[in-house]
Amino acid sequence: MQSLKHYFLMAMPHLEDPNFAGTLTYLCDHDDDGTLGVIVNRPSDLTLDGLFEQLDIESESGPHNDVLVYNGGPTYRDRGFILHRGNADAWDSSIQVADGLALTTSVDILQAIAQRRGPEQFLVMLGCAGWKSGQLEDELKENSWLISEGDAGILFDRPPEQRLSAAAGILGVDLNLMTRHVGHA
């Protein structure tokens, strides 16, 4: 199977797993070892200001203080994952996901954001989603997910409640018109 890095993973309406029902996951890495993604449409009640306070990071006042932190997935819920525009080499512990789009897990980027020196467009998630080798491919065969190519505009220019339908729109699909029952031909 081709790499699904920089693809969206959309939960089908019949997927009832509470960790993933109704989610849009952006896949940041996919290879023979497995898959890593972050859920990008489940904001939490925690703001960046609250996160900075918890991590004892001094923050300058600004529009970032009220930005919501996302529930990024059921794995490593105590770790931060920052999806942002830019290059991975600007920050510690980063991977380049696509041209101009990176995922960073180090605190240096949070410190820069707090001081208004970080990337202009970013999403901060606590936790991620992970699949062992072959697991996601099996779930795709079971029709648990739709996939479409990733789009930074959907990630950063759409409010979270519109991201899933916008990603489905890439395929010309309206998830609201799909049945919750699954069948196999």
112-139 confidence digits (pLDDT tens): 999 999 999 999 999 999 999 999 999 9
Domains and CATH numbers, the chain: 7-177 (3.40.1740.10)
Model pLDDT for residues 61-83, shown as the tens digit of each residue: 887 789 999 999 999 999 999 99
Nearest by Cα to 90 from 65, 111, 69: 111
Sort 82 into a burial class: Cβ within 10 Å, 0-12 / 13-18 / 19+: buried
Whole-angstrom Cα distance, residue 136 to residue 20? 13
- Return the pLDDT at 1: 66
- Return the pLDDT at 62: 80
- Return the pLDDT at 65: 84
